[in-house]
Chains A and B, each alone.
Chain A
Amino acid sequence: MIAKLRRRHRLIFPVLAILIVVVVTFGLKEKPQYSNSELPGYSNIIPGDLVRESNINDEWDDNKISSVLYFSEVGQSYYLKFIDRNYTNEADLLLYLNENPSKEISESSKLIGKFTDDNSVYHKLPVTVLEDASIILYSLPKKRIIAVASISKREDSK
């Protein structure tokens, strides 16, 4: 190129080079940092005397779900905790309990709660005795049962 443009080249270049270096320095320094926060409304009150009852894995008809059943003597309640949920997202998943082997949702099905991504939640079952029951994972907007666990009478802890 001609000399005049070469000179212009030599002037522009350091200006832009310095600009890039300055922006890199400040840009990375100013990157927003998100702090940890409390989560009111998400706390899960867990009884202190929870005893591990059994694994509920094979009972699920979907082999990607694994969960554990706990029992509290004081509260005389069962708690269900999910360990793994390696399947695709689904809308508004609700957990239901049938106090019979039925795998359908009916007027007598009892709502356990919402099923979320949070695997630390202990879902309190709305019954004190658990025999020949079904736990159903149900998508309300799709009106579709996603998975069912058939729980036979609990005799001994596994």
Chain B
Amino acid sequence: MSQSYQAVGWNRQKKIYDLMILIGVFLYIGIFLGIGFSFFPNATAETLIIRAFGTGAFVLLHIILMIGPLSRRFPSLLPLLYNRRHLGVTMFLMALVHGAFSILQFHAFGDLNPIVSVFVSNGEYDSISQFPFQSLGFIALMILFVMAATSHDFWLANLTAPIWKALHMLVYVAYTLICIHVILGAFQTDVSSVYHTLLGFGVALVLISHIIAGFQEKTKDEETDSEIDGDGYKKICSISEIPEKCAHIATLSGERVAVFNFDGKIAALSNVCQHQNGPLGEGKIVDGYVTCPWHGFQYRPEDGASPKPFTEKVPTFKVKVIEDYVWVHPTPNAPGTHQEPVKLEDKNA
């Protein structure tokens, strides 16, 4: 990264982001509790707090889940993705307030350990309408806890990006559990159909946006079908298809490769950023470095290595240019291997 990069520092963009998160949380909770206490004098404070933080966390989870698919479609929304983990931690904290108050209210001060009570007090696991929905909420909370606890880049580095990402994909399991928690819990009582509609709307938004993004990615994932020459190089695209300082992405040997056009040269790197596996090919060359669009991680196009003091490396690929077409060899070099970029000859008309 260039000298301005701060790996995990709290920079100006993050400060603004966090301020907006705080405003959003205060807005939601403030309106909910303000109206609740004013217009429902018979309501107990615990009930309103449990509902405010539970619904608030769930609304926030929907926003978080939409950021991924939306920023694939609208790259201008990438700033929302940049600090998304702070949204996730905030959502966990709100869910924790909901869970802690609920456990205290419904399971503490009895003859059972409160956590044990969550799972055993209602034993009707064989019923739909009487199912102990609170068990599902507890499991979801544990998933969110693990995600929040490992949200720091320290864990990302130690678990490696693929394992960390696989762990964080449990958010979908948590989301499903929470949907079922609501349906087998609150929705088994006489609630207004407004809630049914809102949940239906939220689930539909998440499902549809993911399905659309999924289809778009699926077509890109198909192996680039083209000529292979005697040395095993695959024809990728013409030079004119690659905008200056940007890349063309192809799928070779099951994974994506980014072919960059910069300063009259062509270089090919793995499309997969070593930080969180972001799409390097959707990034740009900034100050001579391939820059990831998600968090700004940088790599030298010549050898796929990050500038000192950073140690991340991505594989490079052998490239040749024949008559304005770029050919890439599918077998990657080891990460950090120097691969001289191909100079484009100055062609005059």
Contact = CB atoms under 8 A, between A and B. Distances in A.
- Classify A-B as touching or not with yes or no (CB < 8 A): yes
Contact of B169 (A12, A17, A32): A12
A2 B272 CA distance: 7
Given A1-B277, A5-B277, A23-B183, A30 B128 contact: yes
A108 to B, nearest CB: 37
A32 B173 CA distance: 27
Contacts of A153: none
Contact of B128 (A1, A2, A27): A27
Q: Helix, strand, loop or mixed for chain A's interface? A: helix
Given A9-B169, A20-B207, 7 more contacts: A1-B276, A5-B165, A12-B172, A16-B172, A20-B179, A23-B183, A30-B128
B221 interface: yes
A4 interface: yes
B205 to A, nearest CB: 12
Interface of B: 128-130, 161-162, 165-166, 169, 172-173, 175-176, 179-180, 183-184, 187-188, 196, 200, 203, 207, 210-211, 214, 217-218, 221, 251, 254-256, 272, 276-277
B171 to A, nearest CB: 11
Nearest to B200: A24
Contacts of A6: 217, 221
Contacts of B272: 1-2
Nearest to A1: B277
A158 interface: no
B254 A3 contact: yes
A28 interface: yes
B118 to A, nearest CB: 20
A20 B277 contact: no
A26 interface: yes
A2 B314 CA distance: 13
B277 A23 contact: no
A23 to B, nearest CB: 5
A31 interface: yes
A70 to B, nearest CB: 32
Interface in A7-62: 8-10, 12-13, 16-17, 19-20, 23-24, 26-28, 30-32
Given A8-B166, A12-B169, A23 B184 contact: yes
A2 B129 contact: no
B124 to A, nearest CB: 12
Contacts of A4: 162
A5 B179 contact: no
B176 A20 contact: yes
B70 to A, nearest CB: 16
Contacts of A30: 128-129, 188
Contacts of B221: 3, 6
A27 B184 contact: yes
A5 B255 contact: no
B203 A20 contact: yes
A138 B183 CA distance: 44
A10 B169 CA distance: 11
Contact of A9 (B129, B214, B251): B214
